[in-house]
Structure 1
Amino acid sequence: MKKIFVLSFISVGYFLNAQNLSNSPYATYGIGDVKYDNTIETTSMGGISTAFISDFTSNFNFANPANNANFELTSIKLEATNENNYFKTDYNNTKSTKHSTYLSNISIAFPLSPKLKMGLSYQPYSSKSYEIIHTDELKDENGVVYATRANRFKGSGTLNTAQIALGYELTEKFAVGLRANYYFGNLYDLNELAQSNAELINGYETKNNVRNFNFTLGASYQNLNTSTDKKLTIGATTTFGNTSNMTSEYKNSTYFYDATGTTIQSGSESIIEQKTASSKNLLPLQASLGVGYGEENKWFLSLQGDYKKGESITYFGKSFDLQDSYRISAGGWYLPNYNNFRSYFSRVVYRYGAFYEKGSLKIAGQNINKFGVSAGVLLPFKNSSITRMSGLELGLEVGKRGTLKNDLINQNYINFRVGFNFADKWFRKRLYE
């Protein structure tokens, strides 16, 4: 059974790597639209994870690997996301929609000892999947139109992350964790300029090849008052140590397409400029701090702040600065009464959250910010218990990104998530037959 599962894990990983993920036109800049952390548990609670230590023995926290003191079972998670984006701009009163469904997370976690826990995860980190065409008319000094100009922007590709996380419980209250992150994938951008009175098209393409390592260090403190079952949790993480870089290939050329309209005519391309560059600050310093309070096996509420250092990237051969960004999240969960076997919905875990993100993009003098609310449930399987919480996970996130000012794009979105958490004492030797 172990060999079959490992083979399935790898196969699903290849499928995830080949996916085409929907995203925003703002994915044009940098490494694209960041998806991580895309787990149902985290997103359903507004993104809180830094100070979240699950009360149940079946949930492994990858975002802060120090938060796994209660994890005791082998857990296998498979999750999928359905994205629904609705775009609008005041430029020509344009509206558009975009939908996609993709596998968003696969993970396995298990305890190595009562104090040491380990997890393996694979999921999309960011993606580009956009195509924008802007047309206008060219006029002479008398106002007579002499040509139509079209500017086409197109991007594709996915950046994935594979992770291995370890958490160690130092004392009953303190724990530390370390996660190694490997990012890999290819991203492609193309900008084409064409005019109706010219045969040739001017194209500027960028190909990015990413192979990058970094590390996330986490720590947590939790104090449980055994007389009241109330608990206070504090957590912190930092991501650092880029060990590689992104190699970018740029090509500025003129050409025309063949009869199919999709392939460059053989022999028609003339290269104006071609060069290669490297960027070492692909994934800049990140830090997170969270605090939470709750009642054991009953409810939990947390507040979290995330920070990401700005960076300078090369976009179509020109330098483009991304700002420092931050995110404020609040969320938690509620379990009515797991011992009430007369009412199934009393044993359901209800999740809720909200967030505001000051984005790293600033275009035409406008900050491209994002905010949203989320909710979700963990529907336990029939044979689940408070110490063995397996079930179906559902999540919903509704939010907004961008602005209509200065003819920019406003993005409204509704994301649905579904997944399974299978938890049991698998892969362990039996003491008695």
Structure 2
Amino acid sequence: MVKKILIALLCVIAQGAIAQKGTISPYSYFGIGDQRDNGTVENQMMGGLSLYADSIHINLTNPAAYSKLRLTTYTAGISHKEYRLKDFTQEQQTSITNLDYLSIGFPVAPKVGAGFGLMPYSSVGYSLRDITTNSNGAEVTNVFTGDGGVNRIYASIGFEPIKNLSLGVTASYNFGTLDYERIQSVEDVQFGTIDRRESKINGYDFNYSLNYTPTIKDKYTLFTSIVVNTQGNLVAKNIQTLGSFSLVSGNDIEVVDVNLDANNLRNTEIKVPTKATLGLGFGEDKKWFLGAEYSFQKFSDFENQFLGIQNVTYDDASSYAFGGYWVPDYRSLSGYFKRVTYRAGLRYDMSGMTVNGKEINDFGITFGLGMPLGNSFSNLNLGFELGRRGTTDANLVEESYLKINVGLSLNDKWFQKRKIN
């Protein structure tokens, strides 16, 4: 009964997930916004590793892991992020809370599992002000704001055709709206100008994975993984309006629609390049695990013609992740904290995005706890991440953040045959 109430509550929360403001980062101004963490709390707290799989947890980033599921699992995660934004002259603190994922996974046959769910893919949310002086000595103020995001509905299946070898695929449908606005005003001029742009986005992508997990000396397991997220060719239907407004009342004076068809910008493709991840790990089942991953993405192929931002270039991206877990004694009856799973990791992301000639990289340290709920396999997962992104050089912003994650992983058994005595 408790599980049914929790699931119903999470479904109600999910209705607001599409409308949530997913970020307040100034770097969401570029690309299609901030690409969100798409792993569960359990994976995120091991530095974002995707290669580990077990029988009671969903792995959202590695579909081959579904072949290991032995119980139906409901999972959901929320996060709260505290930001400190700093440039060369000033500092600001702010925060944001989000629903990160809502998913279900279940075994459908021996060594075959499937799942589906909803999660954010990317988020836009920024407010920037730039003040310069024109040739007449008048102050010119540009205010840039953005909002919206791309969400994802996915379905996954994983199976084990050969002992210790698992294959999986995830098909995702991405959809959402991104809104951008630029307002310019000049000192002692009565009217300002407005440039509003909107992109309605949809499209598919596929994520393939292969896991090979042989047992060594009947005690240890070697984890190897290859994950390939194919290029997402998103289609954007664009609208742009230009006009003027009164600086006194704030009302629009004259706004006209731009003829985007003339420049072939009404419907455009947003190319998100293929990303490949290689993973290697080692561990003892239900006791400990250590792993590492390397990811590569030819982000120099990224393209979003409609925005036409001038001060950014895209290069090939790569990332490194290290992490693991430790369980003192999962069978312990005398001490609760002996059954707790302790996780930790670190990651370094070279985003491939260069703004004002400076590379925008992201470094994070993660740690967390997986706490059993009662005598079941269900657990409550808490996670923490300390990170830093960007730089104060070249008139840019450095983000320091503390991220707090809370995730639920609830287990049940489906397809049981009922017996009547």
TM-score w.r.t. the length of structure 2 is: 0.92
1:28 aligns with 2:14: no
Distance across 1 between alignment mates of 2:135 and 2:268: 41
Q: Which amino acid aligns with 1:35?
A: R
Distance across 2 between alignment mates of 1:67 and 1:98: 37
Change (3 A) 1:242 1:405: closer
The residue aligned with 2:203 is 212
User: How far did residue 431 of structure 1 move?
Assistant: 3.9
- After alignment, is 17-26 or 157-166 more displaced? 17-26
1:27-426 matches, cutoff 5 A:
27-49=28-50, 51-54=51-54, 57-90=55-88, 93-138=89-134, 140=136, 145=137, 147-227=138-218, 229-240=219-230, 242=232, 244-251=234-241, 253-257=242-246, 261=250, 263-265=251-253, 268-270=254-256, 274=260, 276-310=265-299, 311-314=302-305, 316-317=307-308, 321-384=313-376, 389-426=377-414
Measured on the aligned residues, the alpha-carbon RMSD in Å equals 2.4
User: How far did residue 3 of structure 1 move?
Assistant: 10
Distance across 1 between alignment mates of 2:363 and 2:213: 29
Distance across 2 between alignment mates of 1:282 and 1:85: 30
TM-score w.r.t. the length of structure 1 is: 0.89
Distance across 2 between alignment mates of 1:370 and 1:335: 29
Residues 84 and 92 in structure 2, CA contact (< 8 A), matched pair in contact too = yes
Change (3 A) 1:315 1:370: farther
Residues 242 and 280 in structure 1, CA contact (< 8 A), matched pair in contact too = no
User: How far did residue 280 of structure 1 move?
Assistant: 2.8
Secondary structure of 2:162 counterpart: coil
Distance across 1 between alignment mates of 2:246 and 2:15: 33
Change (3 A) 1:97 1:260: farther
Secondary structure of 1:305 counterpart: strand
User: How far did residue 312 of structure 1 move?
Assistant: 2.2
Residues 225 and 280 in structure 2, CA contact (< 8 A), matched pair in contact too = yes
Secondary structure of 1:67 counterpart: helix
Residues 176 and 219 in structure 1, CA contact (< 8 A), matched pair in contact too = yes
Aligned length: 414
Change (3 A) 1:86 1:198: same
Q: Which runs of 5+ in 1 are unaligned?
A: none
Distance across 2 between alignment mates of 1:422 and 1:5: 9
